[in-house]
Structure 1
Amino acid sequence: MPVFISYRHMDRAYAMAINNRLIGANIKTYLDVLDLESQTTDDITGVITRNITECTHLLAVVSEKTALSWWVPFEIGEATISNRRICSFRTGPAELPLYLDKWPKLSTESDLDFFIDAYREEVSNKRSMSLESISESVKGSYKRDADMFHEQLKNRIRRGF
């Protein structure tokens, strides 16, 4: 159940810090800068799409620089199509695009801890899985589980505990 970390390369330091935090919590991640294939391929779109499909969660690092990126919105769109658990992590005072309001918005270390807790709960309840070989009926329940993940995490962030 890896977490795909989406970011603009100008925000690489934030993405690496989040990656290290998740790895420290024993959560497998995908970060393109650490993937030799993504550095050497002529089909980066195919590599990104495949890796999003193989992940269960997408965490988008968002800053004022993200508005100029085509990749981050593309990756969020791919994750949306696959009913991935999606969150954004705001790196500064920038206003987030309205389309991100649908999903939990993280901005602090505590919020990241809430994400880690929610991720672990999904693992223990086996609600999150790769979509490579599941039937259409299971995909419907997977979407409901994803919606529940988003709503519960948003509520926890709002409460602050």
Structure 2
Amino acid sequence: MKFKKIVSTFFVFAFVLVFSQSAFALTGVGDTQENAISLFPAPSGDDLFQDIDLYLDSSEDKDWFKWTNTTGENKFLGAYLSSKGRECNFRLGMTIKYTPTRNSNMVYADYIGPGNAQMIDNIIIPPWATVYIKIDSTKFVPEQYVFYFRLYQYK
């Protein structure tokens, strides 16, 4: 009986590790645009989405994410950032790499509500373009954030 309990506990722990988003920061993972964390949004009707809970581990830390449009059609992007506290000033930025030699400038979201809520919305990502999203802080306090990544198809 004790063996079954140990085995079942192990499987529950493994399941949580595999199927949940990380709630801790890893130094060196996604800290630059070159080693950005790839996003794999899941389908939800006609839209794709992914939600991530993380935090920055120092004032110099940055979290970079990327998604390449391999759908063959234009997608509209929505990126939303919300702090789980009210002390840290997180910042949400985005740039698009259209070709190996052509990028957009980095644009930053405006604050839209309480708790440092920010959004970049209705940005067209053409086929084969890669969007890079950066989260950093202008006033660091160890707080967790939630990053919501959405892709839309307007018809």
Asked if these proteins are the same fold (TM beyond 0.5), I'd say no
Q: Which has the higher helix share?
A: 1
Instruction: Return the structure number with greater relative CO, CA threshold 8 A, min gap 6.
Output: 2
Which is greater in Rg? 2
- Normalised by the length of structure 1, the TM-score is 0.28
- Normalised by the length of structure 2, the TM-score is 0.29
Q: Which has the higher strand share?
A: 2
